[in-house]
Amino acid sequence: MMRLIFTEGALADFESILNYIAKDNQSAAVRFGEGLIETCELLEKIPELGVKKKRSQARLTTLHLSRLWSLLPY
């Protein structure tokens, strides 16, 4: 099974995003956070899940999360 490792910067970004969403809608922030965690756990189990795209120098995997798209480096 693949293992995802989150940098301190990624965790800080995650917290900032959740805080931003929570300003308007606390329950939406919780749903988004839980959904992102569930998606990451699924990606660990099934790494082929995302669509790999090469953008400039970054290698990214696109995962659909609810009505939002998440770009994760791979």
Predicted pLDDT at 5: 82
Residues in the chain: 74
Both tokens assigned to 60: 């990214």
Cα separation, 6 vs 14, in Å, equals 10
The predicted model scores a pTM of: 0.65
pLDDT exceeds 50 at position 14: yes
| pLDDT tens readout for residues 28-43 | 999 999 988 888 888 8
Q: What are the CA-CA distances from residue 52 to residues 8, 62, 73 (Å)?
A: 24, 6, 9
Is 65 within 8 Å of 36 (Cβ atoms)? Answer: yes
Is 14 within the bounds of a domain?
yes
Domains in the chain, number: 1
- Any idea what DSSP says for residue 66? T
Give strand ranges (E) for the chain: 51-55, 58-65, 68-73
**Domain region containing 33:** 8-49
Is 25 within the bounds of a domain?
yes
